């Protein structure tokens, strides 16, 4: 079985300061500590996943292709650093338009990854800056690590690698 680290996107991977919705490459700034932390986690044998709510799509603020463009940009930066993200799961829905099964705190995408990638939930983690990230993690049976928005995740990743958390 595999072990995995799940990450929220906005406020964890990239800064959400000054923007509620981020759908332009020029607004997409990777937070301090992400590159070295994800390298270390990769070297320790964890698969990486991103699970993000993108309700701005349902609201008509931006499109799925905007999201995919931002994700291609992110993946190309990470691949240059030899960091591979297995999947970026995004929920394009919002309850103000229509309910769905995949928006966090629903654990849908985490559970899907656990099945599709044969992941050991007892050895896996989710880092998020919102209570709903932690609710999703716990509902999927993995450990949730709540950070402050845009906090450097290095200390938590070190603890994961050392088995201290
Ligand atoms: Mg967030
Ligand atoms: Zn959804």
DSSP annotation string for 89-132: EEE---TTT---SSSTTS-HHHHHHHHHTTB-GGG-EEEESSHH
Residue 101 annotated as catalytic: no
Q: How far apart are CA 114 and CA 128, in angstroms?
A: 18
The Å distance, Cα 101 to ligand 2 centre, comes to: 5
Phi, psi of 65 (to 5 degrees): -70, -30
Judge whether 8 counts as a catalytic residue.
yes
- pLDDT in tens for each of the 165 residues of the chain? 999 999 999 999 999 998 889 999 999 999 999 999 999 999 999 999 999 999 999 999 999 999 999 999 999 999 999 999 999 999 999 999 999 999 999 999 999 999 999 999 999 999 999 999 999 999 999 999 999 999 999 999 999 999 999
DSSP sequence for 61-74: SS-HHHHHHHHHHH
Domain that holds residue 23: 3-162
Question: Could you tell me the distance, in angstroms and rounded to a whole number, from the CA of residue 21 to the centre of ligand 1?
Answer: 10
Query: Is 93 labelled a binding residue?
Result: yes
| Among the bound ligands, the one closest to the CA of 17 | 1
| Total domains in the fold of the chain | 1
100 labelled ligand-binding: yes
Confirm whether residue 102 is marked as ligand binding: yes
Distance 112 CA to ligand 2 centre (A): 13
Residue 10 marked as a ligand binder: yes
Q: How many CA atoms lie within 13 A of 128 on its CB side?
A: 24
Which CATH number belongs to the domain containing residue 127 in this structure? 3.40.50.1000
- pTM for the model: 0.97
Tell me how far the alpha carbon of residue 129 lies from the centroid of ligand 2, in angstroms. 19
């Amino acid at each position: 079985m595999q072990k995995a680290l799940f990450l929220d996107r906005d406020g964890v991977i990239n800064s959400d300061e000054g923007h509620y919705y981020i759908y332009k490459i020029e607004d997409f700034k990777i937070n301090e500590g992400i590159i070295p932390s994800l390298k270390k986690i990769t070297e320790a044998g964890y698969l990486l996943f991103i699970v993000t709510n993108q309700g701005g799509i349902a609201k008509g603020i931006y499109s799925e292709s905007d999201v995919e463009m931002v994700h291609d940009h992110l993946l190309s930066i990470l691949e240059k650093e030899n960091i591979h993200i297995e999947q970026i799961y995004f929920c394009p829905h919002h309850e103000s338009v229509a309910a769905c099964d995949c928006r966090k705190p629903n654990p849908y995408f985490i559970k899907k990854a656990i099945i599709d990638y044969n992941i050991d939930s007892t050895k896996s983690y989710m880092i998020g800056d919102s209570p709903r990230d932690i609710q999703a993690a716990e509902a999927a049976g993995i450990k949730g690590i709540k950070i402050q928005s845009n906090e450097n995740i290095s200390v938590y990743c070190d603890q994961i690698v050392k088995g201290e958390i």
